Structure 1
């Protein structure tokens, strides 16, 4: 049965949800507070990464966060502040940083990431999208023996999950990246990963959705919800009131601000990430993670992107120069022949990624509201999980068999 559906949020999750919902014959409207041309869906590393099977809340992460708390240039920067939501998230995050949680999370993270990669390829094939997409794998580049040992251990875990990953020494690295000078000791190589140029896919998807009748209301902020008998009757923006049968909350780092109006407290914090683009000829052909510095490197269509850092410091788009410099310095440390220019650094951009308290997304309906489907909290994996999340949202609303079990992603889960 066709339904009218309003999606709050036009990032990668919102657009993919719209794509699959309209395929089921639903009438879809997207509302976004921006013009949908910037933010996390545009500045990310463009990875579709089954390799990223460990949740952000892993053993030792909070310890590192406390250690780095007073170093605003660190890969993970958690700004201390007296805010109840932040404090509750911090306690829950710390509680989740244990081996048992990681063990339970690995299979479901892999499942949704693999599904998403397959669906992303299907979209390109079926719709004829010309946006950049390549499957060249992902290198985990290490400068120290300790880091390499840890990455090899992770590679063994990934192999047990059926992922294609091998260990490479420096000579083997030179055979697959012959034109790049590397200052590393070795790497692991996830052959299963893919990469893309985010703005190209976003633009292709927006054009497609507009062409099939999806309505866009841009630069409109959702200010309130009209609730009656456990259901949302309408949303009120700063410009209008929109009624609908079903609603999707895919507002990224802003999602918990709206969920509170339903009495649902999503433990969610904005995790800021940065990117620097360079049009210099880098000769880099395979995406890489600079392991010790937590920086992602992606050869995109016409430029190379250096992206990274996780900054938990509230909702803001302030560009901290020391964090930009940290990314630029990491690039030169690992690639001695590459130096990012002052102009390139001055054009650095950031985006806010919604980080749940256990590193897993929120996907599904809450007992607080019958006609709201939540899709947020993907942290650094929004791009990798985007198409699968959209498919699952459509299956939930269309009452179809789910492509995977969503128990660990339930919005009502306890921490």
Structure 2
């Protein structure tokens, strides 16, 4: 008899988990509190970026966070709160901001993102998804000597890890991006990076899964989890009751709230990111990151997306106009011939990214519950790690040898 699996969360991690579980022969259902058409999986920059080998928890980040705490337009904004979970997360985050952690995390991030790239390509080709996917690389654009030096150090680390990348002068950048004016003193080109249009992949996957027998329950909020003898025995939503042999917790920033219902204190904070889209023809052909402002620029299918900021201020979808304007203003500093209109800015959207204290995702079983597999905490790298995470979830539940070591992703790892 086929096992029944319920996935809580219909973002990129939930859909990819459903894909591999369904292929293996499980009966799969997805429960999501939204209409399955918005959130971080839809508003992200669309990068599949092995170049992002440095986790959010890195030396100097906490110091910058404290410095920027009272600047609502800063790339990283951490809102202080008198909350035990936030305080525990903050202490663990600070503890992780070390050179040793970066040295350990970088090859782990490289491996899971490279695997994900291959799996995205495989899914698109095998399933004939009509989904935009390109291998044009990514440019880190710098405007100051200090940042250029920092990015050059990252280049050396990337080379040591076998990633294809090189330094570029302004003339070099002009050669590969000739049709747009860029205000830069140089940058780093990561040929290893790919990009996509998230909505197309998500839409294609939902249709594929639905046609393959996966059940979707949208606009259902999980309000309780029945738990007995180290096992989840039922899930209660605002609409129904469900039972399954296996549960996958892939609810993004809400995962920590749900995990407490089984006595697991999963340290997670919601990191809000924003995007501005414009359909105006801009001639930008290669993805870029505006290094000083931490803003991503992505030429997607039919439009250009500008995305950025990390706002750690709890779970909410409030649009902070100051942060939207900071993204738009940064774009216009680097691309002086590009102007984002008030309408572009007004149509911005946000998504919440689940941030673990060490910047690595939680992927694996918990000792608290034998039929629960956790897949969350990817921070800004959910899109880059989505397909590989889905494959690992299937391998865990199927008790197969995993494609990657899981120790660094263990949900109960010590910080």
SS of 1:123's partner is helix
Counterpart position of 1:303 = 303
Counterpart position of 1:150 = 150
Q: Deviations over 1:324-345 (max 9, x none)?
A: 0000000000000001000000
- 1:401 deviates by 1.1
Counterpart position of 1:210 = 210
Separation in structure 2 between the aligned mates of residue 195 and residue 384 of structure 1, nearest angstrom: 9
- 1:2 deviates by 2.7
Separation in structure 2 between the aligned mates of residue 354 and residue 412 of structure 1, nearest angstrom: 16
Counterpart position of 1:410 = 410
Q: Deviations over 1:95-147 (max 9, x none)?
A: 10001111110111100000000000000110001111101001000001111
Separation in structure 1 between the aligned mates of residue 342 and residue 402 of structure 2, nearest angstrom: 49
- 1:160 deviates by 0.7
Separation in structure 1 between the aligned mates of residue 350 and residue 83 of structure 2, nearest angstrom: 23
Separation in structure 2 between the aligned mates of residue 200 and residue 234 of structure 1, nearest angstrom: 33
Alignment of 1:221 with 2:221, yes or no, is yes
Which consecutive aligned stretches of 4+ in structure 1 deviate over 4 angstroms post-superposition?
none
SS of 2:52's partner is coil
Counterpart position of 2:35 = 35
- In the superposition, the TM-score normalised over structure 2's length comes to 0.99
- 1:166 deviates by 0.6
Counterpart position of 2:395 = 395
Separation in structure 1 between the aligned mates of residue 142 and residue 23 of structure 2, nearest angstrom: 44
Separation in structure 2 between the aligned mates of residue 172 and residue 351 of structure 1, nearest angstrom: 34
**Unaligned ranges ≥5, structure 2:** none
SS of 1:281's partner is coil
Counterpart position of 1:73 = 73
Separation in structure 2 between the aligned mates of residue 35 and residue 290 of structure 1, nearest angstrom: 32
Counterpart position of 1:338 = 338
Counterpart position of 2:136 = 136
Counterpart position of 1:22 = 22
Separation in structure 2 between the aligned mates of residue 214 and residue 22 of structure 1, nearest angstrom: 7
Counterpart position of 2:320 = 320
Spell out the pairing of 1:102-251 with structure 2 (5 A cutoff). Answer: 102-251=102-251
Separation in structure 2 between the aligned mates of residue 96 and residue 121 of structure 1, nearest angstrom: 33
- 1:279 deviates by 1.0
> When the two structures are aligned, how many residues end up with a matched partner?
415
- 1:227 deviates by 1.0
Separation in structure 1 between the aligned mates of residue 410 and residue 404 of structure 2, nearest angstrom: 13
- 1:372 deviates by 0.2
Counterpart position of 2:366 = 366
SS of 1:205's partner is helix
Q: Deviations over 1:278-331 (max 9, x none)?
A: 111110000000000000000000100000000000000000000000000000
**Unaligned ranges ≥5, structure 1:** none
Separation in structure 2 between the aligned mates of residue 183 and residue 7 of structure 1, nearest angstrom: 46
Separation in structure 2 between the aligned mates of residue 12 and residue 233 of structure 1, nearest angstrom: 26
Q: Deviations over 1:193-216 (max 9, x none)?
A: 100000000000000000000000
Q: Deviations over 1:12-68 (max 9, x none)?
A: 000000000000000000000001100000000000001100000000000000000
Separation in structure 1 between the aligned mates of residue 196 and residue 275 of structure 2, nearest angstrom: 15
Q: Deviations over 1:247-274 (max 9, x none)?
A: 0000000000010011110110000000
SS of 2:53's partner is coil
SS of 1:264's partner is coil
Counterpart position of 2:274 = 274
Question: How much is the aligned-residue C-alpha RMSD, in angstroms?
Answer: 0.6
